[in-house]
């Protein structure tokens, strides 16, 4: 009997978020005739891809037993720096080499994001500061740096080609969605098929056992913060490319909430030790559909936060029931 229960619970854990998404999907299809239109569905995917990409890295951080609150501010700072770098590079390469300038700017964004993630990681591993506190601090610092560099205004790109990166499509699928899906596959392989993924779960599950098992606990945790920094880099580049600018005040605002929410709705426990990239993708899309439906049904935007909050709390409640 006991064994039966164990198995049933296990499968529910795996498919719970997917079933929830399927139900939401069906309800939405009935509630609005526009929902199932390809353009609307692609729109939803594009809208969630910016925070969805970050949620992939966030999944790693949460599995390791940590949290990163600084990602939203990091988007603004990285986006701002990318645009400054792009403008400078365009000046050097001239109109003919704009594509090169954009490619280099993308690289700058990824490296800078990785660097900021490394800063968080160092404080948390070597400095032994609690992840919540360390990233709460850098959340304030990164935003303030973005505001200072951008004089509390908007970073504007002088490139004519840059928006093509943000608005472009591959086989009809918007670029950020392609990146989101591509990165999700990479992260899923790392998590499930490589040593690093195994170590990440071990460290999050019980750091002491991991240490006794000859695993480099600090390095493993450090890498997870670098990983989330790189995802912020991708997100910041594609977000600023779409608008051809980045606001130092509003850029990436509250992204940390959506990213963490996607991870939690996807079934990754806040206590760490295990997690699912597919779950996070499902979580991000769930959030997107909820937003989309509320918009189509004409619910006041002020109330959308309430619905989102209820969904997050509900997801955690179901998780806790499962754990018991």
Partner 1 sequence: MGDVLIETQGISKEFSGVRVLDNVGIEINKGEIFGIIGENGAGKSTLVKILSGIYTPTEGKVFFEGNEVDIKDPLHAKAIGISMIPQEFNLINELNVYENIFLGSEITSKGFLKKREMKKRTVSLLEELKKSIHPEEKIERLSVAQKQMVEIAKAIAFDSKLLIMDEPTTVLTLNEIETLFDLMRNLKESGVTIIYISHKLKEVREICDRVMVLRDGKTISISQTDEADEEEMARRMVGRDLSQVFPEKVSPSEEIVFEVEGLSSHGLLEDISFGLRKGEILGFAGLVGAGRTELAETIIGIRKKDSGKISINGKSVEIRSPIDAVKSKIAYLSEDRQGSGVLTSFDMIKNTTLISLPAYSKILINNKLEKEKTKKYVDKFNIRAASLKTRLEFFSGGNQQKVSLAKSLDPEPEIFIFDEPTRGIDVNAKREIYRFMNELVREGVSCILISSELEEIIGMCNRVIVMKEGRITGILEGEHINEEEIMLHATGLKGVA
Q: Provide the mask over 242-281, with x wherever binding to partner 1 is found by CB under 8 A and - wherever it is not.
A: -------------------------------xx-------
Number of residues that bind partner 1 (CB under 8 A): 25
Looking at the Cβ atoms of 227 and 293, the one nearer to partner 1 is 227
Helix or strand holding residue 174 (H, E) = strand 173-174
Query: Toward partner 1, which CB reaches closer, 113 or 266?
Result: 266
In the set 195, 295, 320, 321, which binds partner 1 (CB under 8 A)? 195
Exposure letters 1-10 (e unless 16+ CB within 10 A, then b)? eeeeeeeeee
When the beta carbons of 5 and 38 are compared against partner 1, the nearer one is 5
Is 212 or 302 the residue whose CB approaches partner 1 more closely?
A: 212
State residue 184 phi and psi, 5-degree precision: -60, -40
| 274 or 304: CB nearest partner 1 | 274
Whose structure tokens read 């939803």?
A: 44
Residues 204-223 that bind partner 1 (CB under 8 A): 205-206, 208-216
Nearest approach, Cβ of residue 263 and partner 1 (Å): 18
Residue 180 structure tokens: 């989101």
Q: Taking the complex as a whole, how short is the minimal distance between the CB of residue 257 and partner 1, in angstroms? A: 27
The runs of H, that is alpha helices, within 150-254 are 162-167, 175-193, 195-205, 207-212, 217-243
Specify the DSSP element, H or E, that contains 245: strand 245-247
Residue 109 CB contacts under 8 Å (≥ 6 apart), including other chains: 78, 79, 81, 82, 233, 234, 236, 237
Helix (H) or strand (E) holding 169: strand 169-170
Angle at which helices 217-243 and 195-205 cross, to 10°: 110
Asked if 304 touches partner 1 (CB under 8 A), the answer is: no
Question: Taking the complex as a whole, how short is the minimal distance between the CB of residue 201 and partner 1, in angstroms?
Answer: 7
Beta carbon of residue 7, minimum distance to partner 1 (angstroms, whole number): 8
Query: CB of 188: closest distance to partner 1 in angstroms?
Result: 12
Minimum CB–partner distance for residue 52 and partner 1 (Å): 25
What's the min distance (Å) between Cβ of 162 and partner 1? 35
CB within 8 Å of 44: residues ≥ 6 apart? 285, 288, 289, 292
Residue with the two structure tokens 């993924």? 197
Q: Are 16 and 318 in contact (CB under 8 A)?
A: yes
When computed from its CA atoms, the radius of gyration of the chain, rounded to whole angstroms, is 20
Binding residues (CB under 8 A) for partner 1: these are: 1-3, 6, 189, 193-195, 198-199, 201-202, 205-206, 208-216, 273-274
């Amino acid at each position: 009997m006991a064994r039966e229960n164990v198995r049933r619970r296990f499968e529910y854990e795996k498919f719970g978020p997917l079933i929830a998404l399927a139900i939401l999907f069906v309800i939405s299809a009935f509630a609005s005739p526009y929902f199932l239109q390809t353009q609307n569905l692609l729109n939803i995917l594009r809208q969630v891809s910016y925070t969805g990409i970050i949620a992939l890295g966030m999944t790693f951080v949460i599995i390791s037993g940590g949290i990163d609150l600084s990602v939203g501010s990091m988007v603004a700072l990285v986006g701002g720096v990318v645009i400054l770098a792009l403008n400078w590079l365009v000046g050097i390469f001239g109109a003919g080499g704009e594509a090169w300038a954009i490619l280099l700017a993308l690289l700058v964004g990824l490296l800078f994001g990785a660097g900021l993630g490394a800063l968080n990681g160092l404080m948390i591993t070597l400095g032994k500061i609690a992840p919540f506190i360390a990233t709460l601090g850098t959340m304030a610092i990164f935003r303030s740096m973005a505001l200072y560099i951008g004089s509390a205004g908007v970073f504007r790109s002088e490139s004519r080609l840059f928006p093509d990166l943000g608005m472009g499509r591959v086989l009809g699928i918007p670029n950020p969605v392609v990146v989101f899906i591509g990165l999700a596959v990479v992260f899923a392989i790392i998590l499930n098929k490589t040593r690093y993924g195994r170590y990440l779960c071990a460290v999050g599950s019980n750091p002491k056992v991991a240490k006794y098992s000859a695993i480099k606990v600090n390095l493993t945790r450090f890498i997870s913060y670098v990983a989330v920094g790189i995802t912020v880099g991708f997100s910041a580049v594609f977000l600023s490319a779409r608008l051809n600018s980045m606001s130092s005040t509003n850029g990436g605002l509250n992204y940390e909430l959506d990213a963490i929410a996607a991870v939690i709705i996807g079934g990754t426990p806040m206590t760490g030790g295990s997690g699912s990239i597919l779950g996070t993708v499902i979580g991000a899309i769930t959030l997107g559909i909820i937003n989309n439906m509320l918009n189509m049904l004409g619910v006041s935007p002020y109330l959308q936060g309430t619905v989102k909050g209820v969904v997050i709390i509900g997801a955690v409640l179901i998780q806790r029931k499962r754990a018991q």
